[in-house]
């Protein structure tokens, strides 16, 4: 009887940890650098040192799903882009940050990440 209670306690703890890690955003998706590259690719005006640079951004939602046998990771984001120093020199009135938001989807094949949209 005592072992059965111990087993139930361990099973409950394992379940709680699984739920906690599943809800905490540890979804095994792309690292921050890959997400930043995907955002920059989606917003063509983001070119560090040329036009705009990616400022602060926040992941607002993330999930994964299976499509054709691959795990596709989707990240929703909101943030801002800031004018580069070069752009401010050429166009002094371009000094305000601009808001951006959207979603990017990525898949990992081997060691490389590929942006799907």
Ranges in the chain, pLDDT < 70: 1-27
**Is 60 in contact with 76 (CB distance < 8 Å)?**
yes
- Residue-level pLDDT at 38: 95
3-state secondary structure of 90: helix
Please list, residue by residue across 11-47, b when 16 or more beta carbons sit within 10 angstroms of its beta carbon and e when fewer do. Answer: eeeeeeeeeeeeeeeeeebbeeebbbbbbbeebeebe
- Residue-level pLDDT at 50: 84
- Residue-level pLDDT at 93: 80
pTM for the model stands at 0.70
């Amino acid at each position: 009887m005592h072992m059965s209670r111990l087993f139930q306690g361990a099973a409950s703890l394992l379940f709680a940890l699984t739920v906690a890690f599943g809800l905490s955003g540890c979804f095994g998706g792309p690292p921050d650098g890959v997400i930043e590259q995907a955002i920059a690719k989606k917003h063509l005006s983001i070119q560090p040192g040329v036009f705009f640079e990616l400022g602060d951004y926040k992941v607002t939602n993330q999930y994964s799903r299976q499509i054709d046998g691959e795990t596709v990771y989707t990240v929703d984001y909101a943030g801002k882009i800031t004018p580069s120093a070069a752009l401010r020199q050429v166009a002094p009135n371009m000094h305000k940050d601009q808001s951006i938001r959207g979603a990017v989807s990525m898949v990992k094949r081997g060691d490389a990440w590929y942006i799907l949209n």
